[in-house]
Amino acid sequence: MFKTCLSIALLALLTACANDPFKRSSQFEKPDDGAVVVRTAYVFDDVYGKHGSMVVRNMNENALGYYQIDFSNEASSNSLVFVGTLPAGHYRIDHFANAMESKILNEQFGEFDIKPRQMTDLGLLSFSLERGMDNELHRYIQHSHTGNNREIASSTVPEMVTQLHGQTLSWDPLHPPLGRDEDPHMLLAGVYSPAFASDGSFIYGTRFGNVSHVTTNGERVQAYLGEHVSLDNTLITAKGHWLAGGEFSTLMQSDDNGLSWHSQRGNLPFGQIFGLFQWHDRIIVTLRQNLDVMVFSAGEGSDHWQQLARYTLHYSLLGPKGVGPASGMFGDQLLVALPADDLAVLDLKTGATAMRKYPGDIFVAAFGGDGVARCKCVATIAMQTFESRDLGQTWQSPDGTHFLALPIMRDALHGLTFRGGPFFAKFSVFRTEDGGKTWLEGQAFDDPLAQMFYAPTGTTVYAVSNQGAFWKSIDDGKVWFPVGVH
């Protein structure tokens, strides 16, 4: 009986070991190894819902079964890139995993080949989230060609790509991925960095490569820029040029109100553009490349970029995960939040940088229209709201704001914020008329709010959800009504 039980236990252990994936890197281990690259993108914001690793299964008989490839996001915000080496063979993606759960794909989803020293490019897989009790990822949409995966791999692991030869492979034509129809709501997901024109219309970026122009009569005109990349920043210059920048050094310009677009990347390095500003007749770009953050400047309409500054991110071991840098401009001063807890203050006139400290590890940083730097920071055990009115030299923690989002301010006295999340039944708007000393609770929303933003003049302000639903107030946030953006 003991031997039987021991045999069963040993068999179970061997079975578990057989399904335990072998972790692979970007290094070739054997002469017949090839490489694979796939990019994933997400409709939702939750960083814990994104996948930390991809597990593939070798379908060949008598082959080692499962291999794991971890993600890279050195030049992305919404996307994750999985690039690594695998032994030659016939594979399918078994599942994606993160700290919270694993998403096992349909066994008929799709298969692909790995051949010695050749690249297999699986394009883009876009995930949306079913808002159920279990937060299950229920939809996957495959885009067979993205155009920039080769450059992504070359920039992420150049030593691997230089050893590749021959044609680039893709999905097995006999077993293509069973992607569903593209969700039209996916293309509207995300409202990033709204920029206003002189007529009161505005543009903003989205998660999947669209610049949306909301006209004065509420019409939403979409301009797809050719790649499913997150456009995290927009800018309308004093001369009326439209700029949109984001993942993978995407930087596009339109000179005809969005009818046509051309690249302004020029000599910018590969990375994620997380800030676009105008300073006199110069365009300022802040860009992250893995742990390096750079500031560039070019004349309006030029794609010849001059590097002004370079900084390094120093994440703490126990600090918030997945937090990227942020930037803002107060007059001649460019402020760059550098997680874990650094603040770089670059004087654009002199080129000198003053390094300051946040009061704790940054969870989110913002720079308001009132000239105040703010953050949600972990100074002790709990996360608190802090603000600085002297460019980061000193910090204060205002009372009664820890459960509120960071506010937006139209001037030194008037501003708005909101409260919501899993601990509250609805999202509620709060407003201040005394510079944040007191906050008055106002209208509640059934939909989860993502952000609010003021028009450049007057008391008009907008609220928006991540699904692209808009509300508008013309009295500083006292009364709100839905905007029929269509």
- List the chain pLDDT tens, one digit each, 486 residues: 444 444 434 333 334 444 688 889 888 999 999 999 999 887 765 544 556 888 999 988 777 689 999 988 888 888 889 999 999 999 998 888 765 555 666 666 789 999 999 999 998 887 765 544 454 545 555 565 566 788 888 888 888 889 999 899 999 988 887 655 556 666 677 889 999 999 999 999 998 899 999 988 888 888 988 888 999 999 999 999 999 999 999 999 999 999 999 999 999 999 999 999 999 999 999 999 989 999 999 999 999 999 999 999 999 887 787 799 999 999 999 999 999 999 999 999 999 999 999 999 999 999 988 999 999 999 877 889 999 999 999 999 988 787 899 999 999 999 999 987 655 667 899 999 998 889 999 998 888 888 899 998 889 999 988 667 889 999 999 999 988 655
**Tokens coding 149:** 């995966």
- pTM (2 decimals)? 0.88
Domain 21-161 falls in which CATH fold?
A: Immunoglobulin-like (2.60.40)
Predicted local confidence at residue 42, as pLDDT: 75
Q: Could you tell me the residue ranges of all domains in the chain?
A: 21-161, 184-312, 398-486
Share of the chain above pLDDT 70, in %: 83
Predicted local confidence at residue 409, as pLDDT: 93
Domains 21-161 and 184-312 share a fold: no
Q: What is the pLDDT of residues 207-232, one digit of tens each?
A: 889 999 998 888 888 898 888 899 99
Task: Specify the CATH number of the domain 184-312.
Answer: 2.120.10.10
Phi-psi region of 237 (alpha: psi -120 to 50; beta: other; left: phi over 0): beta
Predicted local confidence at residue 462, as pLDDT: 93
**Tokens coding 274:** 């997380």
